[in-house]
Structure formats: C-alpha cells, structure tokens
C-alpha cells in the first residue's frame, strides 16, 4: 500500500500548479473503467456527497477490492484515486492508513467545502467496509 501512495505522490508532485494536478485527477477518473450497472444501487451510494458516488466492495482472500463511479468528472477522479490506493489491501491496512498523502500532494487544499466533505464521506465508507470485513474474518 505504501508503494501505491508513493506512486500517487510521484504522479502529482511532478506538477507545480493546481491546474495540472486537476487535469491529472480527471485523467484518473477516465481511467477508472466501467462500473457495473447492477451495482449502481442505492445501497452502494456514498452518503454525504453532493455528487452521486457509488462504491462497491468485494472481499476475497483476506483483501478488499473496490470499484467506484461518480456522475461528476472531478469527483470520479477523486474516488478513483482512493480506489487506486486502498483497493487490494487488507482491512487492517485500510483502517490504519490515513489519506494524508492527499494533503501532501496538494489536493485537499484546493477542494471546495462540499468536495472536501464528499472526500471524507468516501474515505469513511471505505473504512466502514474494511471494518465489516475485518469483523467477518474473526467470526
């Protein structure tokens, strides 16, 4: 997981201005891939986002895999960035890894209050899924 965070840092810190980072976030959203239509369900919607955001978790072999989508271009990039870091991780890794790297690369400081709240809601949803899967392992 730390390797993926380092890749994100490298990818964003090469740009000096916010506009280039903004374009990179949008590119990540475009590269997210198709989200299954049957998973575009209310129960997978992230509450607390102004835009519509879906986050679908799968738990296989002790690891959590996320797929996601949004109806807003920038938000889709943000959720795509979180998926690129937190997918294919153990519940423990997800729960113990704070999204500090987003601040380090200058993403959070340029988000509106609504988008910051949405980002926090996406992160909270990922952690909730991880918590559920962690408890299932012990059962």
For the annotated catalytic residues, the residue numbers are: 49
Record the tokens describing residue 99, joined without a space: 């999204």
Q: Is 33 left (phi over 0), alpha (psi -120 to 50) or beta?
A: left
Q: CA–CA separation, 57 vs 74, rounded Å? A: 21
The β-bridge partners of 63 are 60
- Closest Cα to residue 91, out of 41, 53, 136, 55? 136
The β-bridge partners of 55 are 68
């Amino acid at each position: 997981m730390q390797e993926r965070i380092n890749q994100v840092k490298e990818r964003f810190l090469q740009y000096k201005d916010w506009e280039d980072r903004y374009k990179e976030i949008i590119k990540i959203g475009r590269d997210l891939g198709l989200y299954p239509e049957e998973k575009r369900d209310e129960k997978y919607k992230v509450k607390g986002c102004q835009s519509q955001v879906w986050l679908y978790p799968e738990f296989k072999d002790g690891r959590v895999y996320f797929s996601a989508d949004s109806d807003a271009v920038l938000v889709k990039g943000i959720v795509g960035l979180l998926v690129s870091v937190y997918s294919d991780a153990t519940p423990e890794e997800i729960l113990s890894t704070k999204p500090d790297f987003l601040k380090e690369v200058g993403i959070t400081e340029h988000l509106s209050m609504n988008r910051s709240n949405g980002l926090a809601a996406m992160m909270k949803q990922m952690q909730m899924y991880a918590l559920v899967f962690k408890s299932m392992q012990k059962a």
